[in-house]
Structure formats: structure tokens, C-alpha cells
Amino acid sequence: MAAPTLTTPFDVAEADRLLTTTRSVRKRLDLDRPVDLQVILDCLEVAVHAPSAANSQLWRWLVVTSPDLKAKLAELFRSGGQDYLRSQLETPGDDAARRVYQSAAHLVDVLERVPVLVVPCVAAEVDLENAPALYGSVFPALWNFMLALRARGLGSTYTTFHLAHADEAARLLGIPAGITQVGLVPVAYTVGTDFRPAARRPAAELTYVDRWGVAPAETRGTS
């Protein structure tokens, strides 16, 4: 007798490939290939299907394409990140961390040449009490956006360096009071699309079942 065919609503292998190979792309951003605004808008339409607290949908997106504005934003980004990156690169550390900082330093150098910079925002003032709900309502959409970009051959990185100068960025971009920037996402087509999954500690080492400290392997076959 033939084995029953297992059906799933998606091609799981392909979905997992998207989810595990959407990386922070910095050195492989194609700085010379233009990005049509429409592809960004398409990805944002995907992004806004993400969950948000009480379905508040308070995400807002500012898509920056003007060379002059990108250059000014890049200056703020550089000023916010350069000293931190320099100090990290001067501190002895493991190779993997060094590669991240070197890659981040490269992005600092080329940011203004990236075709599109997206500033995700939340339409609220963020304070200590509401931060989890407000930031937590934008990040799922932001990740959706990054996945949708990757599915179309574009790459991005979530960054925070320019937030040290968020007020100046708000003046530059006409962002009104009451709107909080949550980062800056450079977007470009990628040079090649063959990204590999990142090295990560296995989730099974960081996951417990029923009681803190009880590893999944210890509970197998008990239910």
C-alpha cells in the first residue's frame, strides 16, 4: 500500500529556506542597480499583514530615495555608529563578532550610495511602559518587509545607529512630533542571491518543556 501523502499548506522547505537565509546584507548590496519604488511598496504591502498590539497597525514607513537626503542621513548614521564600531574593532574578540563589526563598518562607509533607505516608525510617543507593545508592534512588520525583499532578490539590514540623532533626522525628513523612528533599513538588490543560514546556537539548547531547565530531549516519549 502506498504511504499516505502528507500535505502542508506551503512548500515547507522553501518557506524555511526564506526564513533561515534572510540575513543582514551589507557588503553584498548592489549599489549600482536602481530599485524601483514600486518593489518597495509591494514589500510594504506584505509587511503590514504582520500582527500588532490590539491590531493597532501603528507602523509608518518613510522611504528615502533623494540622494541629498540619503547623504545627510548617512552623516547622522556615521556619527551615531563610527565611534562604537571603532572601539569594538579595537577590542579583541572572536572572529565572528569581528566580521559583523567589519561588515557594519562597511555599511557606515557606503550608506549614502545604497539606493533606498527606509525609516520604519511607530505613530506614537514611546516610553518605558509602552515600549514593549509599541516596538513589538512594528518589528514583526519590519521582519515581514525584510523577508518580502529577500523573496524578490533584494537585501536589507535593520540598523539603529542614526537613532542617536533621531531629532535631527526628524527635522531633515519632516517627521512630526508624536512619531517615533525605530531604525533605518538600507535596501538594494543583492549581489547574488545564494545566502546561507547563519550559525546559531540550536534552539533545543535554549528551550525548556513544562519546567525551566528541562530540555526537550528529556521529555521525549513521555506524553
Report the interface residues with ligand FMN, using CB under 6 A: 23-24, 26, 81, 100, 104, 107, 157-161, 198
Nearer residue to ligand FMN within complex by CB, 107 or 175: 107
Nearer residue to ligand FMN within complex by CB, 82 or 209: 82
DSSP letter at 152? T
Site of grid cell 506614537: 124
Nearer residue to ligand FMN within complex by CB, 144 or 159: 159
Handedness of CA 130, 163, 119, 98 (dihedral sign): negative
Task: Report in angstroms how near the CB of residue 68 gets to ligand FMN at its nearest.
Answer: 22
Nearer residue to ligand FMN within complex by CB, 26 or 78: 26
Task: Report in angstroms how near the CB of residue 107 gets to ligand FMN at its nearest.
Answer: 5
CA atoms within a 13 Å half-sphere pointing along the CA-CB vector of 68? 2
**Number of neighbours of residue 169 by Cβ within 10 angstroms:** 23
Task: Report in angstroms how near the CB of residue 81 gets to ligand FMN at its nearest.
Answer: 6
Task: Report in angstroms how near the CB of residue 64 gets to ligand FMN at its nearest.
Answer: 16
**Number of neighbours of residue 139 by Cβ within 10 angstroms:** 17
- Contact status, residue 65 vs residue 191, Cβ threshold 8 Å: no
